């Protein structure tokens, strides 16, 4: 490895986070409208539920905690870890993406952060303000689906 490669790899001290791509039986994706406040990453954008890892917490533990804290959500059949990607223009974290399914009514969830939760069909995502790394992760997930 050359020194340029080494400098771009995350270190043990690089902050980490986790997000969940949650789909329902119709193939819609659950998105979270973030608060439009100074001091938070990607204010006023639609994103995935999730957040940063606490010290010593693995991304798989963080996403379960974040889903519960943000929306009182326990997903059907657990979470599958997909891939990770950096949020270089927002939080600076390395974000682990997870996938899960849930067929409930998002309007009944006790939202503790942000403005609202809503399911969207994939074809409607193009008009929403979504952080680039989240949009890329969603596209990567959708491209890997059977029949994509």
Q: What domains sit in the chain, N to C, each tagged with a CATH number?
A: 15-142 (3.90.79.10)
Q: What's the mean pLDDT in 103-122?
A: 95
pLDDT greater than 50 at residue 7: no
pLDDT at 114 > cutoff 80? yes
> What predicted TM-score, i.e. pTM, was given to this entire model?
0.87
Q: Which residue has the tokens 């270089």?
A: 88
Average pLDDT (58-76) is 93
DSSP assignment letter at 137:
H
- Which residues 6+ apart lie within 8 Å of 32 measured at CB? 46, 47, 48, 49, 70, 71, 113, 114, 116, 117
Whether 1 shows a pLDDT value over 60: the answer reads no
- State pLDDT tens for residues 22-44: 999 999 999 999 999 888 888 99
Provide the 8-state DSSP code for 26.
Answer: T
- Which two three-digit tokens encode residue 44? 């006023």
Residue 11: its pLDDT value, please?
Answer: 59
pLDDT attached to residue 5:
36
Listed residue (82, 73, 140) closest to 113, CA to CA: 73
State residue 14's pLDDT score: 83
If DSSP codes are grouped into helix, strand and coil, which group holds residue 85?
strand
| Secondary structure of residue 43 in the 3-state scheme | coil
51 CB-near residues (< 8 Å, 6+ apart):
17, 18, 62, 66, 69, 70
Taking phi over 0 as left and psi of -120 to 50 as alpha, with beta for the rest, 27 belongs to left
pLDDT at 92: 84
């Amino acid at each position: 490895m050359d020194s340029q490669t080494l400098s771009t790899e995350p270190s043990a001290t690089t902050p980490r986070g986790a997000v969940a791509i949650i789909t329902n039986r119709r193939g819609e994706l659950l998105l979270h409208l973030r608060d439009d406040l100074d001091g938070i990453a990607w204010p006023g954008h639609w994103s995935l539920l999730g957040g940063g890892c606490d010290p010593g917490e693995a991304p798989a533990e963080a996403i379960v905690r974040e889903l519960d804290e943000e929306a009182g959500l326990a997903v059907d059949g657990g979470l599958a870890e997909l891939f990770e990607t950096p949020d270089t223009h927002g939080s600076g974290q390395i974000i682990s993406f997870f996938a899960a399914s849930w067929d409930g009514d998002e309007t009944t969830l006790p939202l503790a952060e942000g403005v609202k939760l809503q399911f969207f069909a994939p074809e409607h995502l193009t008009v929403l303000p979504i952080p680039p790394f989240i949009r890329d992760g969603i596209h990567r997930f959708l491209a890997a689906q059977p029949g994509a």
